[in-house]
Amino acid sequence: MDVRSSEPELRALMIAGLDGDATAHRALLEKLSGQLRAYFKRQLNRIGRGPVEAEDLVQEALIAIHTRRHTYDRSQLFTPWVYAIARYKFLDYLRRTKVSAADVPIDEAQELAVHDDSAHVESSLDLKRLLAELSPRARQTIQYVKLDGLSVSEAAARSGMSESAVKVSVHRGLKALARLIREEKRS
């Protein structure tokens, strides 16, 4: 994938997703997952770790990109934003797993967009088990809105909560999920 052609495309998808376009958001996450996979595999390869860890990191980065998407400033380029998240998650992984960052040369920004990898490896994470660790309210709203695909108003009616409470609960639940995944991988 060429950097110059992907930046405007990814940025357009991101902005559409920020405005609530689910199709664009899905397309964005799919494209990014390929780039992130190539990036993490290459980085992990240098410290002798395999594709399962890479997939864990891809998923962690995707959740971060989703739950922190309000930190993207629409007036700025999109690629540096995504790359900074990927790099942060990789350095955080190194710190948690006690590999010295000095041992690993960190790639430059453009490398993220140059490679793409769509190999289908499963991560070590078990979504059902992780969901079970959330608060009952967060688990239920994520089940309704994110897994069963109910609209927010349907989920609100079914759970007896207000619509804004459902939205807040889903957002907090996803952030809690990200935290659980991070803790899961502390070794």
Partner 1 sequence: MKTDELIDMLSTNVEPVKQGRLRKTLVWALVVGGAAAFCVMLATVGLRTGLTDGFLPGYLTLKLLFTLSLIGVGAALLERLMRPGQDGRKLFAFVLLPFIIVVCAGVASLVFGQPMAWGRMIFGMQWATCLLCIPLFAVVPFAALIWALRKGAPTDLTRAGAIAGLVAGALSATAYAFHCPDDSVPFIAIWYGTLVALCGVLGAMVGPRLLRW
Tell me: does residue 64 bind partner 1 (CB under 8 A).
yes
SS3 102: helix
Structure tokens at 98: 């006690």
Candidate list 105, 136, 149, 160; residue touching partner 1; CB under 8 A: 149
Q: How far is the CB of 39 from partner 1 (least distance, A)?
A: 14
* x-or-dash string of contact with partner 1, 15-54, rule CB under 8 A: --xxxxxxx-xx--xx--x---x-----------------
Tell me: does residue 97 bind partner 1 (CB under 8 A).
no
Q: How far is the CB of 161 from partner 1 (least distance, A)?
A: 15
Determine how many CB atoms are found less than 10 A away from the CB of residue 73: 9
Q: How far is the CB of 47 from partner 1 (least distance, A)?
A: 20
Structure tokens at 28: 């964005």
Part of the chain binding partner 1 (CB under 8 A), chosen from 4-12, 43-51, 63-71, 97-105: 63-71
Part of the chain binding partner 1 (CB under 8 A), chosen from 39-47, 97-105, 132-140, 164-172: 164-172
Where helices occur in the chain by DSSP H, the ranges are: 3-18, 22-46, 51-67, 79-96, 111-114, 127-132, 136-142, 152-159, 163-184
Residue type for position 101: A
Tell me: does residue 8 bind partner 1 (CB under 8 A).
no
Distance between alpha carbon 92 and the CA centroid of its chain, in Å?
Answer: 14
C-beta of residue 94 within 8 angstroms of C-beta of residue 62: no
* Closest CA relative to residue 13, chosen from 1, 30, 27, 32: 27
Tell me: does residue 55 bind partner 1 (CB under 8 A).
yes
Which residues are within 8 A (CB) of 76 and not within 5 positions of it... i.e. 6 or more apart? none
Task: Write out the residues near partner 1 by the rule CB under 8 A.
Answer: 17-23, 25-26, 29-30, 33, 37, 55, 58-59, 62-64, 66, 68-74, 76-77, 80-85, 87-88, 92, 120, 122-123, 125-127, 142, 145-147, 149-152, 167, 170-171, 174, 178
